[in-house]
Each structure stands twice: as C-alpha cells, then as structure tokens.
Amino acid sequence: MNEKPSQSSYDVVVVGGGAAGLAAGVALGRARRSVLVVDTGNPRNAPAHGVHNFLTRDGLDPRELQEIGAQEVRQYGGEVVRMSATGASRDEQGFSVDLQDGTVRARRLVVATGLVDQLPEITGLRNHWGRNVIHCPYCHGFEVADQAIGIVGTSAMSGHGAWLFRQWSADIVYFTHTGPELDETRRTQLLARGVRIVDGEIEEVLGDEELTGVRLADGTVVERQALVVAAPVRVNSPVLDALGLAKEPVVMGGVEIGDRYPSGQGGSTSIPGLFLAGNVTDPQAQVVTAAGAGLMAGATANMDLITAETAQAVADFSAR
C-alpha cells in the first residue's frame, strides 16, 4: 500500500477499491495505463466472515480478497493508496480529484465507491450484521439453512424476503414490525408455505456472540437464530456530487429500495470521461458481478483514451 500517490497525474484515477474498483485497476494496469486506486478500505461486505458465490474464491475473507486485488493492481504497475477522495472538478484536460491529502490529475475517472445499507434502528441488531442479521439469501442463505429465521418487516420488500428465504428453511417467522400491511396475495402465499406471521414491533435483538431471539414491544420473546432485513441502499459520493451527477431512485417490483448514480454501457455516464462500476450504480451487483463491471469500466475508460489519442494523432498527421 503506497502512503500517498507517487505522481501528480495519472491516465486514470479509480475512486473506491472494492471488487469493482480493483478490477478496473487491474484492467487498466494490464492496458499499460498509469492508474491510481484511492480507497478508504471499508468494503460493504466487511462484516461477513466470507465471500460466497464468487467462483474459485468461495469463503474468502472480504478484506483478504481486497488485499489480493490490491496486490494484483500493483503487479501491473498500478498504485493503491488508503485515503478518501473528497471532491472533483472537470476541465478540458480531464479531472482534478481532491484527496484527503492533496490533489491529483486524471485524464479519465472511474468511481466505484459502493453503497451503504441503512439498517433499521433496533437495539442489538447492528452487532450481528453480516453474520446472523443478513439481507441476501445468495450471500448467506446456505449458512443459515434450516435455522429458525425471522424476517423483520420494514418495507414491502420484506414480504418478498420471507417468501424467498422459505427456500432455505421451513422455520420462518415474519415479524410485521414497522412494515406496511401484507397484501392478501402475499399473506396467503406465506401462510400456505408455513410461514408464521407475528404482529408487533421488535424492540431488541437478543444474544451476544450468537443471536438467540427478539423481544417485542409487548415483552414477548420469540426465539430465532437469524434475522433478515431489507435495508434501503443509499449511495453517497462527494466526488460524483461535486461533478454534478444526480442520483436516481431504484425501484424493484414497484417498491423504491434506495438510490444509485446512473450509468450506461461500460459504466459510461452523462459526464464525458467519467465511468461508474459496482454498487454505486448497480445495487444488485454481487462481488463477482461488481468485479465484472469494474473490468468493463476500466476497458471502456481505456477505449475512450485510445479514441482521443487516435483523434489527436490524426490531427497531427494531417497537419504535417
């Protein structure tokens, strides 16, 4: 890990060094571009013991994956620094990126800063996040298979969660908590599949190392080993805000689940030279697909540079 950037200017600066940003860094290094990855070192899945559904990397510690990725960036001449990017501006030549410690220039910019899961404010819940309090059946469903699972109703997506997690366990309780009323179709589906519906608000999640249950506002304790939350997903990038890229809501099945910064093919955006990858633009991206998007954003940024360099070469050639 470099202490600080060794140069004042790079072909490409990548902000965010999770799976998406590091994959962009590797693609750009291999394309023989000078590349700087700026990262605060806090990937979204850091609380989890291991990464699942990443073929050949199953169970790897998320931070170890990040460390291996950073080594791979460096192996191709790229730099990775542990600091935050706090803003950016754009001019004819490219971007000035404000870092916690100084400013660097970039001809192209890739932003892969991920998202934040907004957990419900329930005493004790956060302590178990990523292990016994989970959100994604494909990330953790197998690890909690056949356990006593509780679904915390917070949004219309929570009913969907109960329906989905029934695939992993026959012992599912749906806590209405603060969620909207279940519609008749969903209620019937849950009851038909043996899901128990418990009315009332959860006040506390119980258990220290292991989760043991929940206590409702009326004092009832319901034993559970794992809880599922549908946490809204929020993006917050001072770099993209400073460049004027507006967020947009993400709607799934008619329900707003959070927001994202919009991008198109290869992560391209409405701002020339700016590319996005991973959860910052696609809240559904998993580690392997975030890495895939990072590769494509890196390749698209490289192609953009090649296009500009070729146009310049043609102009110089024609002027001879």
Question: Is residue 158 within the footprint of ligand FAD (CB under 6 A)?
Answer: no
Read off the DSSP letter of residue 183.
P
Q: Going residue by residue from 204 to 233, which x/- string records binding to ligand FAD, judged by CB under 6 A?
A: ------------------------------
Taking the CA atoms of the chain, what radius of gyration do you get in angstroms? 22
CB of 107 to ligand FAD, least distance (A): 19
Candidates 14, 20, 24, 157; binder of ligand FAD (CB under 6 A) is: 20
Q: How many residues bind ligand FAD (CB under 6 A)?
A: 37
DSSP state of 198: E
User: Which of 114, 120, 153, 273 is close enough to bind ligand FAD by CB under 6 A?
Assistant: 114
Q: Does 52 bind ligand FAD (CB under 6 A)?
A: yes
The residue among 131 and 196 lying less far from ligand FAD, judged by its C-beta, is: 131
CA distance 208 to 127: 8
Counting contacts by CB under 6 A, is residue 298 touching ligand FAD? no
For residue 248, list its beta bridge partners. Answer: 260
The correct pick among 33, 44, 128, 186 for binding ligand FAD (CB under 6 A) is: 44
Does residue 113 bind ligand FAD (CB under 6 A)? yes
- Min. distance of Cβ 251 from ligand FAD in angstroms? 19
Binding mask 69-98 for ligand FAD (x = CB under 6 A): ---------------xx-------------
For residues 212 and 206, give the distance between their C-alpha atoms in angstroms, rounded to a whole number: 6
List the one residue from 227, 257, 285, 295 that touches ligand FAD (CB under 6 A): 285
Tokens, residue 94: 């490219």
Q: Does 117 bind ligand FAD (CB under 6 A)?
A: yes
Residue 113 or residue 154: which is nearer to ligand FAD going by CB? Answer: 113
Name the residue nearer to ligand FAD (CB basis): 17 or 78: 17
- The DSSP string of 60-94 is B-HHHHHHHHHHHHHHTT-EEEES-EEEEEEETTE
User: For residues 289 and 54, is the Cβ–Cβ distance under 8 A?
Assistant: no
Residue ranges of E strands in the chain: 9-15, 35-39, 79-82, 85-91, 94-99, 102-111, 116-117, 133-134, 149-152, 172-175, 196-198, 202-206, 213-216, 221-223, 226-229, 233-234, 248-252, 255-260, 274-276
Rounded Cα distance, 62 and 169, in Å:
26
When asked if residue 132 is in the footprint of ligand FAD (CB under 6 A), the reply is no
Residue selected from 12, 13, 14, 15 as contacting ligand FAD according to rule CB under 6 A: 15
Q: CA–CA separation, 183 vs 308, rounded Å? A: 54
With binding defined as CB under 6 A, does residue 118 bind ligand FAD?
no
CA 69/CA 78 separation, integer angstroms: 11
What's the rounded Cα separation, in Å, for the pair 260 and 253?
Answer: 17
Q: Which of residues 135-154 bind ligand FAD (CB under 6 A)?
A: 136, 139
**Using CB under 6 A as the criterion, which residues of the chain lie in contact with ligand FAD when the complex forms?**
15-21, 38-45, 47-48, 51-54, 84-85, 112-114, 117, 130, 136, 139, 278-279, 285-288, 290
